[in-house]
Structures are given as C-alpha cells and as structure tokens.
Amino acid sequence: MKERLWVVGMLVATHVTQAQQLDSLIKEYELQEVVVSASRLQRELHTVSVPIQTINAEDILRAGYLRLQDALQEQTGLQLVYDHGVGLQMQGLDADYTLIMIDGEPLIGRTAGTFDLSRLNITDIKRIEIMRGPSSAVYGSEALAGVINIITEEEEALPWRLSGMARYGSRNTSNFQLKATTTSTKLSTSWSANYYGSAGYDFTPETYGQTAPPFMNYTLRGGVAYDLSPAWRVHTRVRLYEDFVKDAYESFGERFDGKGYVADKNVYTAVEWTPTGRAFWQFRNYFTTYHTSASYWQKDSGEETDHSFFRQLYWRPELFAKYDLAQEHTLSGGVGTNREQVSATRYEGTRRLYNLYAYAQHEWSRGRWHMHTGARFDHHSIYAGQLSPKWGIRYNQDRWSLRASVGRGYKAPDFRQLYLNFTNNAAGYTVLGTEEVRQGMERLLAQGLIAEILLPPSQVASLKPERSWALNVGGEWRPLQKMKVDVNLFRNMLQDMIDTQPVARRNNGQFVYSYRNLQEVITQGVELNVTYKLSTYWRLSAGYQYLDAFEPSVKERIRAGEIYKRDAQTLVSRRVKPEEYGGLFNRSRHSANLKVFYTHPRWEATMRLIYRGRYGWGDANGNLILDDKSEYVDAYVLCNMSFMYHLRRYTLQAGIDNATDFRNEAFVPALAPRTFWFAFQFDITNHKK
C-alpha cells in the first residue's frame, strides 16, 4: 500500500519545488551561476534539468571547511559513513555508488568500496558541485547514486594573486595553505601547497593506542594553460597527495606499533580546438595512481607481524566534441577507454581490466523550456555491454520552476568482488572473488581445510553489474522576495545489488565467502530546503530529508510470516511484524539541518546544526534484518560555529566544531570531540595591467 501511495505522491508532486541548490545562494544573481557536472558543458544553473547544487569558495571560507567531508556533512540528505575511511551516502545509496571527481576526472583508491573523503583538501578550490541521481549516461560506472565534482580551475583576470592561510586547533591540529596564480595574455598558472596534521584523539586511554592515531599529510597542486592561437589551447594539471600515519594497538595483552602510508597522484593534459563559434573539440588524457602500505610489529621484540600493500593505476584518454546546431540545439559526445591495473597483498598477481565507451547528448532550450537527452554505451572486458540512457526537462516561471529527470545507472563489479583471495588467519574465514572461487576452493580442498561445500564452485555465477532506474521530480518556489523553497522527490530502484554469500564451511567452523547478485533494493524519499533573508545582515536556512530504504523481498517474506525474531529475555520466537522492519542498515529515516548566517562588511558569523535520526548498526537477533530496538544507534545533533573579521587583505577567523562535544565511542568513533580552532588568512593581488 505504501508503494502505491508513493507513486501517487510522485505524480501529484510535480508542481512542488526541487531542493538542490546550496542554501547560502539566495542572491539576486544566483540564476546566472555556471555549472559543468550535469553534461560536461558550462551551463547556467537555471537551465539544468537534473538535481544539482554548488558550494563555492566563499561558503568554504566562511564556514572554515578543510576537507571534503566537512562541507558535505552539512548538506541536506548527505550522510557520512565511517567504514574504511569517511565515505558519503547519497539518497540512501552506499558510498560505493557515488563518483568522486576533480575537474571532471575520477579519483581512484576505494578501500572496501569506500572512497575516503578525508584525502581531499578543499581550501584552495573554486567550488564543489553535487549532482544527485544516476549519472552513468555521462560518467559511467560508480556514478549510480550521483557525482561529487571538485572544480579547481580558475580564470583570473589579475596579473598575479597570492593567498594563504595558517590554522591551529585542539590536539595540535594544524593546517597551512599557500596558493599563487599568474595571468598574462596567453599564459596562466596556478600553484598551491597544503599541509594538514593532527595528534589525534583517544576515547579509551586505559588501552594502548589511540582511537584516531596521529597523522600528517600534504597536497601539492599545479596547473598551466597556454593559448597557442585564438583557436588552440593546451592546459595541464598535476596533483600529489601523501599521508603518513602512526598507529598502535593492544591485542590479548600484547602491544603492537604500526605505520601507514597513502599516496595519490594525478596528471591531466588537454588540447582544445575551437575552429568556429559553434564547434569545440577536446582531447584529454588522464593518468592517476593510488598506493597504500601498512606495517605492524610487536612493540617489545620489534618483530614484524603484518605487512600489506595496495597499488592501483588508472589511465583514460578521451576525445570530446560539441557542436551548436542552432540557437536552440546543442549536440555533444565523446569516445574513450579506461585501463585499470591492481596489485595487492590480498590479490593473486596483477589484475587488469579495460573498458571502451561512447556517449552522446542533446540539449534543447527555447524560452522557459530546457530539455536534456543523453545515453552512454560501455563495453567491459569482464561483463556484457551496458547502455545507460538519461532524460530531463525543466520549465521556468518568474517565481517558480519545475524539473524532472529519469536515468539508468550502473556500477561494475570491482577488483575486490572479482579477484579477492584473502584468508583472515586470526578469525579463520576466507573471502574469494567470483573469478577466484574455482582455484581457491581447489587449493583449500587439497589442503584438507573444507568440511562442507555449500555451493559448488561451478554454480557460483559470474557477477552482473549493479543497475538502477532513478526518478527525481521537483522544483523551486519563491513565495516571497526574500524566501526560497526547494523540494525534490526521488526514487531509486537498484537491481542486481552485489552481496556476500557463503560457499563452503571450513574445518574450524568458519565459512568461505564469495559474492552474488541480489534482486532489488529501493530507496525513496523527499528533500526539502528553505532559505529566508531576515534582514540586511541575517539569513536563515533549514533542510530536511525523509528516507525510506528497503528490500521488497524482505517485506514480502514478513507479510507471508516467514521471518522470525527471538525475545532476548524469554527466548521465545515469534513472527516479525511488518511495522517492525526498519529497512536497510545505516540509513536514517529522518535527517535535518538548521543554519544561521550573519554577514557584515567587517564581521561574519555562522552557526550550523546537523541532526541525524536513529539508524540501524547491525543484526543483533540473528534474523539478518533490522527489526529490534537494540539494533539502532540513537539520534544525535552536531553544532559547528565560525566567526570572521576582515581587515582589508587579511582575515582573522575562529571556530568551534562539535561545540556540544557529542561522542559515541562505540558506533561513531571517527567523529572527533569538541575542537577549537583559530586561523589567519591573507589575499594579496596585483591590479596593474
């Protein structure tokens, strides 16, 4: 019944508004803001038919954000997940399904599927673009939930500019930033360097080691662009990130020390040709590597107990073209290939994948109407070809607008799900990728380690890509001159979701696991943003998301009376009631934010409250679903504040993150305690021609 009501609600809601622009952009000129993530073309935000929002450099500076997760956690409907680093959950879909990019090029290096957002410094960028809904029609795999695109390119009109920042906070947390840009008639350059480090923190001082160990990292970034002629332009960008961690832990009375290292390197080069005012050609070449290593040794003896590494290479050349057929029509498209290579401690040898792709788009605009149609075809070396279409439309009026988009997304099986060959000797279990099951099982059988085969290796099916259909409907409404209301309704229908399955039982009672495709997962809900300018200096914004994420097959089994739960006190079993099913784990049904901004020519201040409703942490009663009060993490509220004072070219800033000192050591250990910080910034420019 709820599903039927949802469909009716989606149809009725086409007159309401869409919430995807940043709440701080309630300015008179906001409709002229330019974005590129929606179609790889520069487009004014009010012509884009997909849900997209931006966080610009002024917003980042005002709030004192340092890393990417700092900015994203305060946006409506975006949830941080702490699993193998800080990942991002969008519209109820896991961190695996959101593509993270810099200037339109993908970043690699996912640990257990999660891209760690703490790797990305954002203190020297132009803006962040957040696009929700499947974007596989443009960007391919991993863009099933949406795209986060960090824009670093800047077109400076000044001969040179030098800016920097020094920041210090609690627990010896420091950040130093320096950026320089130069611009001449034909040549422009941009360079930046960032250092970030902390002594970490510890919620359990009675044990050896810290909850968050000390670390230091740096990011170097550079870019050069040169106009060979009015028609030809070449530019290149390079980025280097390195991170060093000191770790320690205690196990069964023994103490261990360790160190970790992460390196992320990117090189991008493009040649652009504009033969006429209507045509544009670009050849781009992108190469990136990601490397991690970790070593642990016994503290007293110094004997090494574990060493692991992970190396990934990614290369993508692409040819892109755009042509304006007429004032109302634009065609664009591209062809390219992805080449990937991975070697790791847990993989047998070096594994390679490749993908060939082609995509095309058509954009049409006439008066108040804007429409976008696109499709992409991918041919992968492992799985069958994939076609990903997308369509969107927008209609603008003076005080309101409507938009709707529908798209198909996909996510290819990763190296872990295909080639992993790992045995945890301490816990006694084994995980084999689907391409390694046959050889891995033969080896375990030859060693006499298998007690029972649950699924013959020949019956382990090859993995299919995960697919989804998604619908976003909404718009924008200005009931008052100083007020804006945004609403977005979404529904994602995910098919062939990849999950683990036991294929054999070892002699020690533990299992051998591999992977399989599940039938269907649905996430649906509504996102609401309201902004109101109280006066010349005061501005208020509020956001809310309702999320319903579930497996239809589980609901059907509950209705049929096939799923039971056991009372922890009486040990009596009974059938699970439909209203007890809480949906997918680690999803908050309700989340919200409230932000207050004070902006004065000299003084600026912000206060931001972030609410996350309760969510399931795991199965406690053994029936593999979320259905009991003991399986939930309690709701919580975070409070962040910042204060700024401007002195011509200089700015003084102070802030408090997690002002209420909220802590949940058991379920949210990666959330740092209260942090005080102070910063000094300068911006020097040469205005002479």
Tens of pLDDT, residue by residue over 338-397, are 999 999 888 878 889 999 999 999 999 999 999 999 999 999 888 888 999 999 999 999
Asked whether residue 25 is assigned to any structural domain, the reply reads no
What mean pLDDT do residues 239-243 have?
Answer: 96
Local confidence band at 656 (pLDDT 50, 70, 90 cut-offs): very high
Asked whether residue 142 is assigned to any structural domain, the reply reads yes
Q: Is the pLDDT assigned to residue 275 strictly greater than 90?
A: yes
Q: CB burial class (10 A; 0-12, 13-18, 19+) of residue 282?
A: middle
Determine the Cα–Cα distance for residues 226 and 221; give it in Å rounded to an integer: 17
CB 611 within 8 A of CB 637: yes
Q: Name the token pair of 227.
A: 């106009």
Distances (CA, A) of 568 to 386, 565, 573, 620: 47, 9, 9, 10
According to the model, what pLDDT value does residue 155 have? 62
Local confidence band at 5 (pLDDT 50, 70, 90 cut-offs): very low
What mean pLDDT do residues 163-189 have?
Answer: 94
The predicted-structure confidence for 425-476, as pLDDT tens digits, reads as follows 656 778 888 888 988 899 889 888 898 888 888 888 888 888 999 999 999 9
Q: Is the pLDDT assigned to residue 33 strictly greater than 80?
A: no
According to the model, what pLDDT value does residue 32 have? 59
Determine the Cα–Cα distance for residues 298 and 252; give it in Å rounded to an integer: 12
Closest alpha carbon to 463 in 423, 415, 511: 415
According to the model, what pLDDT value does residue 668 have? 85
What mean pLDDT do residues 74-82 have?
Answer: 89
According to the model, what pLDDT value does residue 66 have? 93
Strands 105-106, 110-111: pairing is: unpaired
Determine the Cα–Cα distance for residues 226 and 233; give it in Å rounded to an integer: 6
- Lowest-pLDDT range of 15-19, 207-211, 599-603: 15-19
Q: Is the pLDDT assigned to residue 268 strictly greater than 70?
A: yes
The predicted-structure confidence for 579-623, as pLDDT tens digits, reads as follows 999 999 889 999 999 999 999 989 999 999 999 999 998 888 878
Query: Which of residues 76 and 251 earns the better pLDDT score?
Result: 76
According to the model, what pLDDT value does residue 10 have? 39
What mean pLDDT do residues 112-123 have?
Answer: 85
Q: Is the pLDDT assigned to residue 11 strictly greater than 50?
A: no
What average pLDDT does the structure give for the chain? 88
Asked whether residue 405 is assigned to any structural domain, the reply reads yes
Q: Name the token pair of 603.
A: 């003084």
Q: Is the pLDDT assigned to residue 114 strictly greater than 90?
A: no
Collapsed DSSP state (helix, strand, coil) of residue 312 = strand
Q: Name the token pair of 305.
A: 């107990």
According to the model, what pLDDT value does residue 15 have? 37
Distances (CA, A) of 3 to 6, 260, 441, 491, 524: 5, 47, 43, 11, 10
Local confidence band at 650 (pLDDT 50, 70, 90 cut-offs): very high
What mean pLDDT do residues 539-550 have?
Answer: 96
What mean pLDDT do residues 287-296 have?
Answer: 93
For 449-507, the DSSP string reads -EEEESS-GGG-PPPPPEEEEEEEEEEEEEEETTEEEEEEEEEEEEES-EEEEEEEEET
According to the model, what pLDDT value does residue 646 have? 94
Query: Which of residues 678 and 349 earns the better pLDDT score?
Result: 678
Collapsed DSSP state (helix, strand, coil) of residue 510 = coil
Q: Is the pLDDT assigned to residue 9 strictly greater than 80?
A: no
CB 344 within 8 A of CB 419: no
According to the model, what pLDDT value does residue 426 have? 59
Asked whether residue 293 is assigned to any structural domain, the reply reads yes
Domain holding 192, by residue range, is: 34-685
According to the model, what pLDDT value does residue 237 have? 95
Determine the Cα–Cα distance for residues 543 and 19; give it in Å rounded to an integer: 9
Quote the pTM value. 0.88
- Check the CA dihedral 414-417-423-429 and report its sign: positive
Place of tokens 């020097």: 684
Local confidence band at 680 (pLDDT 50, 70, 90 cut-offs): very high
- State the Rg of the chain over Cα: 26
What mean pLDDT do residues 633-655 have?
Answer: 95
Query: Which of residues 285 and 621 earns the better pLDDT score?
Result: 285
Query: Which of residues 78 and 28 earns the better pLDDT score?
Result: 78
According to the model, what pLDDT value does residue 499 have? 79
CB 127 within 8 A of CB 54: yes
Asked whether residue 18 is assigned to any structural domain, the reply reads no
Collapsed DSSP state (helix, strand, coil) of residue 128 = strand
Local confidence band at 29 (pLDDT 50, 70, 90 cut-offs): very low
CA diameter of the chain = 83
Q: Is the pLDDT assigned to residue 657 strictly greater than 90?
A: yes
Q: Is the pLDDT assigned to residue 206 strictly greater than 80?
A: yes
Asked whether residue 9 is assigned to any structural domain, the reply reads no
Asked whether residue 16 is assigned to any structural domain, the reply reads no
According to the model, what pLDDT value does residue 84 have? 63
Strands 511-517, 429-432: pairing is: parallel
Asked whether residue 4 is assigned to any structural domain, the reply reads no
Q: Is the pLDDT assigned to residue 14 strictly greater than 50?
A: no
Q: Name the token pair of 453.
A: 């085969």
According to the model, what pLDDT value does residue 389 have? 95
Q: Name the token pair of 601.
A: 């020519």
What CATH number did the domain enclosing 451 receive?
2.40.170.20
Local confidence band at 156 (pLDDT 50, 70, 90 cut-offs): low
Query: Which of residues 137 and 510 earns the better pLDDT score?
Result: 137
Local confidence band at 687 (pLDDT 50, 70, 90 cut-offs): low
The predicted-structure confidence for 660-671, as pLDDT tens digits, reads as follows 999 998 888 888
CB neighbourhood size of 40 (10 A): 19
Q: Is the pLDDT assigned to residue 209 strictly greater than 60?
A: yes
Determine the Cα–Cα distance for residues 246 and 198; give it in Å rounded to an integer: 11
Determine the Cα–Cα distance for residues 145 and 493; give it in Å rounded to an integer: 11
Q: How many domains does the chain have?
A: 1
Enumerate residues 6+ apart whose C-beta is below 8 A from 214: 197, 198, 199, 200, 245, 246
- Lowest-pLDDT range of 110-124, 524-538, 581-595: 110-124
